[in-house]
Amino acid sequence: MFPRPLTPLAAPNGAEPLGRALRRAPLGRGRAGLGGPPLLLPSMLMFGVIVASSGLLLMIERGILAEMKPLPLHPPSREGAAWRETAPKPGGLSLDSGDSDLQVRQDVRNRTLRAVCGQPGMPQDPWDLPVGQRRTLLRHILVSDRYRFLYCYVPKVACSNWKRVLKVLAGVLDSVDVRLKMDHHNDLVFLADLRPEEIRYRLQHYFKFLFVRDPLERLLSAYRNKFGEIREYQQRYGAEIVRRYRAGAGPSPAGDDVTFPEFLRYLVDEDPERMNEHWMPVYHLCQPCAVHYDFVGSYERLEADANQVLEWVRAPPHVRFPARQAWYRPASPESLHYHLCSAPRALLQDVLPKYILDFSLFAYPLPNVTREACRQ
């Protein structure tokens, strides 16, 4: 029921384990030795906090934290916000309730975010960020002035359905069940559309939330969708990936047969801050240190968490989060396990540091791809 402790990634024979390699890796290491911009890794102090978070998960699993009070899910002094009257009040961590797993995950995320974001030099609001990072953040936060909330959308974490919900709440769509191709820009308001003083007001007074997903499961979902179904991505990214990483590739590949290891090799050489949004780390998309989110929902319990948010913001009773379509087949843990076990372990060791903050801040275990686990 509880999150597992972070499982170290087994290294191939003669190689260092991932945790030891990360602790040893110097800051500012070049991208895959190609002389590109430095790989963005947490400082040694921050990484110590992240490693400690795996110990926190282990303590929770053993019941050691059962009597500790969690950090509040919501700040205590937000005058005039409707969600404050219906949001759960801070209190003791009750492991006997039906939502004990949710409470534990929220507590872990709150505590880890507080520890990491409290380190010296970490951004405390969007204006502490470099211009490029701030631009990315503000372009990914959607605004509902009518219901006074901000939602940071993360591609491949049900963001299309959330955009549909926002359009219904704004009166643009009649129902979340209307079947039409989602326009991801029109009839939506982004923080980037507003003046700085308007942005500051909403960040201070509105309910703020985002939804997260297992980082590697999200990558697999992006890989399957973009390179298996979307011609634009096959031509723009797939063809370049094949030219760059496949021996003997011709000058004009179709890009519709990119393998998962080739996609991972591409990610190793990419700067996380300049990635396409569908595989950019959540940390860079939503900047959870610069924006103090009131709730972090999970893809794993999407409908329950989403409908809880709608209750907190007092959405009309008829507005509920769309149920998953019967035809949709999400990337499953079993499919992810197969793809990871089929990929070179050294390649995974190079990819994981790009997403280490997403794993740690949002309480997702590192993958177990030991030979024993992959034989199962």
**158-201 tens-digit pLDDT:** 999 999 999 999 999 988 877 766 667 788 999 999 999 999 99
Please give the span between the terminal C-alpha atoms of the chain, in angstroms, as a whole number: 21
Q: Which residue has the tokens 């069940």?
A: 177
- Bridge partners (DSSP) of residue 296 are 210
Distance CA 169, CA 181 (A): 18
State the chain's mean pLDDT as an integer: 78
Of 196, 235, 216, 184, nearest in space to 282 by CA: 216
Mean pLDDT of 288-305: 93
**194 compared with 103, residue with greater pLDDT:** 194
pLDDT at 183: 66
The string of pLDDT tens digits covering residues 303-320 is 999 999 999 999 999 898
Q: 212 falls in which pLDDT band (50, 70, 90)?
A: very high
**5 Rama sector, left if φ>0, alpha if ψ -120 to 50, beta otherwise:** beta
pLDDT at 87: 53
Its sign, for the CA torsion 372, 222, 281, 291, is negative
In the sheet that holds 295-298, the strands lie side by side as: 141-144, 149-152, 207-212, 295-298
Q: 50 falls in which pLDDT band (50, 70, 90)?
A: very low
What is the largest distance, in Å, between two alpha-carbon atoms of the chain? 64
Of 162, 158, 102, 139, nearest in space to 286 by CA: 139
Is 80 exceeded by the pLDDT of residue 322? yes
Q: 51 falls in which pLDDT band (50, 70, 90)?
A: very low
Amino acid identity, residue 38? P
The string of pLDDT tens digits covering residues 274-286 is 999 999 999 999 9
Mean pLDDT of 69-94: 40
Decide if 105 contacts 3 (C-beta within 8 A).
yes
pLDDT at 29: 37
SS3 127: helix
pLDDT at 56: 40
pLDDT at 205: 96
Distance CA 124, CA 188 (A): 26
SS3 208: strand
Question: Which H or E run contains 371?
Answer: helix 371-375
Those residues whose C-beta lies under 8 Å from the C-beta of residue 59, and which sit 6 or more positions away, are 65
Share of the chain above pLDDT 90, in %: 56
Distance CA 183, CA 23 (A): 43
pLDDT at 244: 94
Is 90 exceeded by the pLDDT of residue 67? no
Q: How far is CA 25 from CA 22, 115, 272, 349, 367, in A?
A: 5, 22, 17, 12, 20
Per-residue DSSP letter, 301: G
Share of the chain above pLDDT 70, in %: 71
Lowest mean pLDDT among 69-83, 109-123, 345-359: 69-83
Of 234, 201, 206, 173, nearest in space to 78 by CA: 206
Kindly give the interhelix angle for 215-228 and 260-268, rounded to the nearest 10 degrees.
120
Q: Is 347 exposed, middle or buried (0-12, 13-18, 19+ CB in 10 A)?
A: middle
pLDDT at 4: 37
SS3 38: strand
Cα 121 to chain centroid distance, Å, stands at: 22
pLDDT at 355: 97
Pairing between strand 295-298 and 141-144?
A: unpaired
Of 120, 6, 122, nearest in space to 56 by CA: 6
Of 346, 294, 249, nearest in space to 150 by CA: 294
Q: 103 falls in which pLDDT band (50, 70, 90)?
A: confident
pLDDT at 17: 42
**212 compared with 40, residue with greater pLDDT:** 212
